[in-house]
């Protein structure tokens, strides 16, 4: 956590205040964005259209997601 605080140019105390453990920090930094991606996948999965339209929609939405 100290290396992350140093890279973010904030105090260790600030990181520890918001993330009580390494696991919580990992969840926020890595797992939470994948939850957003999972929701995007489910949204596109429910999209009505031909297989080609669904693939095109998935690629388009993935590109938007990763650009953000």
Q: Helix, strand, or coil here: 49?
A: coil
Q: Are 52 and 65 in contact (CB under 8 A)?
A: no
- What would the two tokens of residue 64 be? 């938007």
User: Length of the chain in residues, anyone?
Assistant: 68
Euclidean distance between CA atoms 11 and 51, whole angstroms: 50
SS3 labels along 10-48: CCHHHHHHHCCCHHHHHHHHHHHHHHHHHHHHHHHHCCC
| pLDDT tens per residue, range 21-63 | 999 998 888 888 888 888 888 888 888 889 899 889 889 988 9
Name the pTM for this structure. Answer: 0.50
């Amino acid at each position: 956590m100290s290396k992350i605080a140093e890279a973010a140019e904030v105090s260790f105390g600030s990181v520890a205040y918001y993330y009580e453990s390494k696991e919580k920090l990992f969840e926020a930094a890595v797992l939470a964005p994948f939850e957003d991606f999972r929701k995007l996948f489910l949204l596109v999965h429910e999209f009505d259209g031909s297989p080609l339209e669904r693939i095109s929609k998935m690629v388009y939405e993935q590109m938007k997601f990763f650009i953000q």
